[in-house]
Structure 1
């Protein structure tokens, strides 16, 4: 007999939810919308940065799409997949039933966190693979054109895109953790996602204040775009390390706070 709310059971429950399906539909539709926008727009800007080079081939299109989705869309998906499941159970009046089943609170939270992170990682991989396919079909399979001149072969492009995708996923962990922490404190799923998005906006505003000096380095999204440096002639992989460490630190702290609060919470829903 399987244990109540195993990872397999939780994965099936989350995948079959309409919000998961619609999230992936949006993810698939977005590159097509961008291609349509480029088709209808003015091509005079070609050659100007990542946006101008986006139509020069699949590699450039993939880098551009990763750039415009990382700061908001992937962040919202991470907050949704990690922060929504617990308050959703409460809003359905099934959270207390699960705990009576019995499902230990640690197992319940761990299943939901791991499945949420897995769906987020899958979303990043699906996006990257899909934009490469769309970009190749529409714009061809030319090597990556670098913004500072020169090109980068597909062998280097694929490995660096893989590292960039992993970094983008890790960069969303602080806000996914904030959503999780808020999610165990409320019965409103949108509140968990909203708090995470607001936290990102506030962090971005503070990061723009140069008067804060080196204190900005501690902000959760200060290093969020460091992966862009991978797509240069001489990338510095060590520059990614501070962003990874800060993201993991925030994730551990807020997830631990979520576990601590839920362990003491009187679940009435």
Structure 2
């Protein structure tokens, strides 16, 4: 390659600006405006959602939700006992009546699946999504680096909690919807039958299912609050998930002790299955209203405590 001629006026512009001693092009650029930092654009919801979807535990949770209704449906199909004989007595408990009507159609199968999974599986999944958020970053030793980017602590908590609650809501909605589809394929698409006697119309069936799912979503806020608080208190994701699950189990054990009346009605899980009152001829709202109030109070206190603690915590992980 031949060197540029000294008589050529454009020769200097063709020389690389990074070449030693050549600064004319850099001078012609002028001052560069500083880039404004926007903390809100860091750790976006889309980025966090994609990260959560790629997690192995998210995929395992989705697989559990998808395979549970078919397994239950196949078990009912292969059983030699007629479940309808278990719920014929109106004086019996609604829980046994739900089992007795599980094969009456897709809607009843969805209600039974919701009840069977609500006491443990759904609790574990909600605790998993909301308890593995902050503690998971600490366990990977990446939490401190996220805050150095910098990401504001309140912004990090908000993004983590939003994705955790959204993932939990998707699971809680997906299970009864998928169970309704599986139940319809196995046992027909007829309207739901009330465990207290009588049938619902198609529109009433959808309304009652919506009430059940909505109430379950609100009740899950207590589990999410427990898990999220433990997530900012510990660096071990398993400790946050297991701790929240154990607290719910302990609450259920205490709730089963009738000697604790009337104090056990203030336990966070006392009204966990108050949605059963939506399955009668008329919806009874009293216990569900109390359950919603207690759930919102507990979750507000727990989320507030998580925010307060994390803003004062020395992040070393």
- What's the TM-score once normalised by structure 2's chain length? 0.82
1:199 maps onto 2:243 in alignment: no
Moved over 6 A (4+): none
Name the counterpart of 2:34.
none
The answer to whether residue 46 in structure 2 is matched with residue 8 in structure 1 is yes
Partner of 2:101: 53
Could you tell me how far 1:163 is from its partner in structure 2?
Answer: 1.4
The equivalent of 2:114 in structure 1 is 66
State yes or no: 1:253 paired with 2:253: no
* Separation of aligned partners in 2, 1:10 and 1:24: 18
Give the structure with higher Rg (CA). 2
What is the match of residue 127 of structure 2? 79
TM-score norm. by structure 1 comes to: 0.97
CA RMSD of aligned residues (A): 1.3
The answer on 1:213 being equivalent to 2:261 is yes
- Structure 2 residue aligned with 1:181: 229
Structure 2 unaligned segments of length 5 or more: list them: 1-37, 88-96
How far has the Cα of 1:146 moved from its partner?
1.5
- Matching residue of 1:24: 62
Residue 279 (structure 2) pairs with residue 241 (structure 1): no
Which structure has more helix as a fraction of its residues?
A: 1
SS of 2:233's equivalent in the other structure is coil
SS in 2 for 1:55: coil
**What secondary structure is seen at the aligned counterpart in 2 of 1:145?**
coil
Task: For 2:240 and 2:198, locate their aligned partners in 1 and report how far apart those are by CA, in whole Å.
Answer: 44
Question: How many residue pairs were aligned?
Answer: 269
* 1:230 paired residue number: 278
Spell out, residue by residue over 1:199-226, the C-alpha distance to the aligned partner (whole angstroms, 9 max, x if none).
1111111111111111111100000110
Structure 1 residue 46: deviation in Å?
Answer: 1.6
Q: Write the mapping of 1:148-187 to structure 2, written as runs, cut at 5 A.
A: 148-187=196-235
Give the SS at the match of 1:43.
coil
Name the counterpart of 1:132: 180
- Per-residue deviation, residues 50-88 of structure 1 (Å, max 9, x unmatched): 111101100110110111111211111111111111111
Offset of 1:42 from its aligned partner? 2.6
Q: Counterparts of 2:253 and 2:173 in 1: how far apart (Å)?
A: 29
Moved more, 192-201 or 34-43: 34-43
Cα distance between partner residues in 1 of 2:286 and 2:64:
34
- Secondary structure class of the residue paired with 1:46: helix
**CA offset at residue 36 of structure 1?**
1.7
1:9-49 deviation line (CA, Å, top 9, x unaligned) = 21121122111111011001000110121122233332421
The whole-number CA distance in structure 2 between the counterparts of 1:45 and 1:163 is 25
Q: Does 1:39 align with 2:77?
A: yes
Q: Answer whether contact 2:83 2:103 (CA < 8 A) is retained.
A: no
Alpha-carbon distance, 1:148 to partner: 2.1
Q: Which runs of 5+ in 1 are unaligned?
A: none
